[in-house]
Amino acid sequence: MADLARGCAFLGSGGGGDPQATLIELEAYSGGDFSVELLDAESLDDDALVAPCGWIGAPTVSAEKLPSGQEALLGLRKLEARLGRRVDAVFPIEIGGSNGLAPILLALRAGVPLVDCDGMGRAFPESQMVILNVCGISASPAVLTDDKGNCVIIEAADNVSEERIARAVATVLGASCHLMEYSLSGSQTKAFALPGTVSDALAIGRSIRVGRDCGGDPFASLFAALKSSRQFSKAGVLFDGKIIDIQRETKGGFSLGKAIIEAAGGGARLEIDFKNENLVARLDGVVRAIVPDLITIVDRETAETIVTERLKYGQRVRVVGASAPLALRTPEALAILGPSALGIATPYQEIEVLNGWT
Amino acid sequence: MADLARGCAFLGSGGGGDPQATLIELEAYSGGDFSVELLDAESLDDDALVAPCGWIGAPTVSAEKLPSGQEALLGLRKLEARLGRRVDAVFPIEIGGSNGLAPILLALRAGVPLVDCDGMGRAFPESQMVILNVCGISASPAVLTDDKGNCVIIEAADNVSEERIARAVATVLGASCHLMEYSLSGSQTKAFALPGTVSDALAIGRSIRVGRDCGGDPFASLFAALKSSRQFSKAGVLFDGKIIDIQRETKGGFSLGKAIIEAAGGGARLEIDFKNENLVARLDGVVRAIVPDLITIVDRETAETIVTERLKYGQRVRVVGASAPLALRTPEALAILGPSALGIATPYQEIEVLNGWT
């Protein structure tokens, strides 16, 4: 679980919330001794009811606001009541950050398997930025629950309205709520979800720990793991330096800001803009990586991810880039979750092209 | 219908939205030729399912944003689906303003009777400020619908959370949504709703028209109607003058502001604070009327109500006060919908005491 948390943090591209809090919640609930079935999507029955899930809000809030532990199971039961049948399996709506880990607690509590897939292959700031939306699955009925027992069932006219409604409700309820959305069939899961991303996250997290604990270079083993991953095969170090400035505000339910990193001895600077997630990295004004490709800031010694809400002046970091799953790079996907959808004027370019990686 | 609209406008205490827009919608739908059964609450079956309804948002918005006409019926059908049974009758959650009239359109479309009662005996800015909340009825499940077909079902932990969630959703959907809430049984309707307020509104509206059209004094006939009304028997003119200043902003889904009225020839000034509704009237700094008693600004010639969003510099007006239903004046009710609940430091005092009316 600690390896999976580490891998989810890496895939969060700086966002998705710190998985450490979810890891603690999982250990507190289970006493550390539990098992959850990890199911390959291909083994799902075609007519299974599969429920993606995760949390919506600002990571800066969820780092401080404790959950009651009841949110996810209440949401699952309300979704089941609304649909008139039991949920057969769950998976992370986004593998990145705490949302990659959160469904394990739900799977454990509900006694259902976890499917080895997710809807984003990373984390994104808005909930319609998901491959399931690109593929035409409805987000509704979506079920939002909070720590006080409030439950809101959203039947939106479209998936962007669902995000706007869910965001508004999450914000008024304290900017950290559980959300079940985009429930779908087994056959739709096979056709549209990004396969293998839970396994990828686990392998990535394990590689960092093993590389470090075995006295080797955690970066070498991280890049080996990424190269052999199913979804994130092109990767490398974008920059190495010290954080010299962080600008940050929590606004409209999001954590917005910018991190500026300077090379040792001064000179080159990398600027990273974030909206919950790191969205674009510019080296002295030139784009070196842009959403949906992954941009993750890690500790330069341990290779542990530093999520945006934990970035601080003076941290010595490396910025690691990795290619997004191919399904996120189509024109249809980029229209929904690429730079223009996030208000960035620069068009998308593949990270491996921008950096000459082969 | 025009008389009822006029009476609802008066009972809105400046808020609840301008009933004229709802009157036009009703005429457009029905061609002006229709009938709806007005049912005395006492004739309801004890186990009938009764659904109060109305619109939530800022009157400044609903004056400009046209409804699709589908909102209320969609909300009713979703409520029925959620509760697993048909609704037997509807009534206005608030008799004041457009919300006094809106349920007639729903009754007509759904083919159900309208109950002669309401939940507020006036209009209030927040949806938990309703006698049904005072009496312990749950607002949930509440169903919010908009002109685009969005539907949000709220199952809140408490009635204040329901208001906060509904307000946040209404705001993000454009600050004008239909809301079904506080659904209750026939026996609860008999025990808790304010009886006769639809009839009272009709009588009040008719009295203004008849007084004016018959060459008489519309104020004399208005006060005669109020005196013989079931719920608003103490009434009088609080002030007569010209509007010399209006301060207004639309914020957090509410219309907030202040109107200042000066007596002819200068001198005395009446200041009215409003939050959607007129809440407190101070004559040269001395309180003359305070929520939940009614404060309505009317044209000084025609006695037609001027809702807060239509107040303008230079209007010649009379400010009419009327006593709230007794059920709103208990300590339990005042805690939920009295001055302190609306952020006003002055404690409640009966309008007839403040003005020496007998």
Contact B165 A152 (CB under 8 A): yes
Determine the residue among A146, A172, A177, A179 to mutate to test chain B binding: the one whose Cβ has the most chain B Cβ atoms within 10 Å: A172
pLDDT band, very low/low/confident/very high, at A349 (cuts 50, 70, 90): very high
> How high is the pLDDT of residue A266?
82
Handedness of CA A91, A94, A100, A106 (dihedral sign): negative
Contact A161 B148 (CB under 8 A): yes
pLDDT band, very low/low/confident/very high, at B32 (cuts 50, 70, 90): confident
The predicted-structure confidence for B219-233, as pLDDT tens digits, reads as follows: 999 999 999 999 999
Q: Is B227 on the interface with A (CB under 8 A)?
A: no
Question: Lowest mean pLDDT: which of A113-127, A239-253, A329-343?
Answer: A239-253
Determine the residue among B56, B146, B147, B152 to mutate to test chain A binding: the one whose Cβ has the most chain A Cβ atoms within 10 Å: B152
Enter the pTM of the model: 0.91
The predicted-structure confidence for B132-141, as pLDDT tens digits, reads as follows: 999 999 999 9
Residues of B in contact with A152 (CB under 8 A): 152-155, 165, 169
Q: Is B138 on the interface with A (CB under 8 A)?
A: no
Do B12 and B305 contact (CB within 8 A), yes or no?
A: yes
Report which residue type is found at B48: A
Mean pLDDT across B284-307: 97
Q: Is A156 on the interface with B (CB under 8 A)?
A: yes
pLDDT band, very low/low/confident/very high, at A255 (cuts 50, 70, 90): confident
Contact A165 B153 (CB under 8 A): no
- The span from the CA of A324 to the CA of A306, in Å, is 19
pLDDT band, very low/low/confident/very high, at A263 (cuts 50, 70, 90): very high
pLDDT band, very low/low/confident/very high, at A59 (cuts 50, 70, 90): low
- For the cut 90, the answer to whether the pLDDT of residue A62 exceeds it is no
Contact B155 A157 (CB under 8 A): no
- The span from the CA of B131 to the CA of B155, in Å, is 19
> How high is the pLDDT of residue B20?
85
Q: Is A81 on the interface with B (CB under 8 A)?
A: no
Q: Which two tokens stand for residue A66?
A: 């404790």
- For the cut 90, the answer to whether the pLDDT of residue B17 exceeds it is no
The count of CB pairs under 8 A between chains A and B is 64
- For the cut 80, the answer to whether the pLDDT of residue B61 exceeds it is no
Report which residue type is found at B301: E
- For the cut 70, the answer to whether the pLDDT of residue B46 exceeds it is yes
For residue B147, what is the nearest residue in chain A, using CA coordinates?
A157
Q: Which two tokens stand for residue B304?
A: 């037609």
pLDDT band, very low/low/confident/very high, at B60 (cuts 50, 70, 90): low
Mean pLDDT across A244-271: 90
Nearest Cα neighbor of B31 from B132, B101, B108 is B108
Q: Which two tokens stand for residue B311?
A: 């107040």
- The span from the CA of A256 to the CA of A336, in Å, is 19
Answer with the residue of higher pLDDT: A254 or A332. Answer: A332
| Residue in the structure block whose two tokens are 């006493």 | A31
Determine what percent of chain A is predicted with pLDDT higher than 90: 83
> How high is the pLDDT of residue A63?
66
Within chain A, how many helices (H) and strands (E) appear?
Answer: 12, 17
- For the cut 80, the answer to whether the pLDDT of residue A343 exceeds it is yes
> How high is the pLDDT of residue B91?
98
Question: Lowest mean pLDDT: which of A3-7, A86-90, B124-128, B189-193?
Answer: B124-128
Q: Is B169 on the interface with A (CB under 8 A)?
A: yes
Residues of B in contact with A78 (CB under 8 A): 155
> How high is the pLDDT of residue B250?
81
Contacts (Cβ under 8 Å, ≥6 apart) of A16: A8, A9, A59, A94, A96, A97, A98, A99, A100, A122, A123, A276, A277, A307
- The span from the CA of A240 to the CA of A297, in Å, is 10
Mean pLDDT across A301-313: 93
Query: Measuring CA to CA, how many Å separate B128 from each of A64, B93, B114, B327?
Result: 30, 10, 22, 15
What residues pair up with A317 in beta bridges, in sequence order? A241, A299
The predicted-structure confidence for A107-139, as pLDDT tens digits, reads as follows: 999 999 999 999 999 999 899 999 999 999 999
User: A229 by DSSP, 3-state: which?
Assistant: coil
> How high is the pLDDT of residue A21?
84
For residue A75, what is the nearest residue in chain B, using CA coordinates?
B155
Contact A78 B152 (CB under 8 A): no
The predicted-structure confidence for B68-93, as pLDDT tens digits, reads as follows: 889 999 999 999 999 999 999 999 99
Residues of A in contact with B163 (CB under 8 A): none
Contacts (Cβ under 8 Å, ≥6 apart) of B209: B2, B3, B6, B218
- The span from the CA of A159 to the CA of A316, in Å, is 40
Residues composing chain B: 358
pLDDT band, very low/low/confident/very high, at A61 (cuts 50, 70, 90): low
Q: Beta strand pairing status for B269-275 and B277-283?
A: antiparallel
Mean pLDDT across B114-135: 96
Mean pLDDT across A331-350: 96
Q: What is the CA radius of gyration of chain B?
A: 19
Nearest Cα of chain A lies from the Cα of B120 at a distance, in angstroms, of 25
Determine the residue among A68, A79, A155, A163 to mutate to test chain B binding: the one whose Cβ has the most chain B Cβ atoms within 10 Å: A155
User: Hey, what domains does chain A have and what are their CATH numbers?
Assistant: 2-195 (3.40.1610.10), 233-354 (2.40.390.10)
Instruction: For residue B183, report the phi and psi dihedrals to the nearest 5 degrees.
Output: -60, 145
Give B171-217 as a DSSP string: HHTTSEEEEE---EEHHHHHHHSEETHHHHHHHHHHHHHHHHHTTS-
Chain A, 7-46: which have a CB under 8 Å from a chain B CB?
Answer: none
Nearest Cα neighbor of A272 from A305, A247, A309, A250 is A247
> How high is the pLDDT of residue A60?
64
Chain B, 170-209: which have a CB under 8 Å from a chain A CB?
Answer: 171-173
- The span from the CA of A20 to the CA of A97, in Å, is 9
Q: Is B77 on the interface with A (CB under 8 A)?
A: no
Nearest Cα of chain A lies from the Cα of B333 at a distance, in angstroms, of 24
User: B136 by DSSP, 3-state: which?
Assistant: coil
| Residue in the structure block whose two tokens are 């995760």 | A54
Nearest to B148 among A157, A167, A168 (CB): A157
- The span from the CA of B123 to the CA of B125, in Å, is 7
> How high is the pLDDT of residue A260?
98
Determine the residue among B153, B158, B173, B180 to mutate to test chain A binding: the one whose Cβ has the most chain A Cβ atoms within 10 Å: B153
Contact B173 A154 (CB under 8 A): no
Contact B152 A154 (CB under 8 A): yes
- For the cut 90, the answer to whether the pLDDT of residue A258 exceeds it is yes
Instruction: For residue B135, report the phi and psi dihedrals to the nearest 5 degrees.
Output: -90, 5
Q: Is B48 on the interface with A (CB under 8 A)?
A: no
* Mean pLDDT for chain B overall: 94
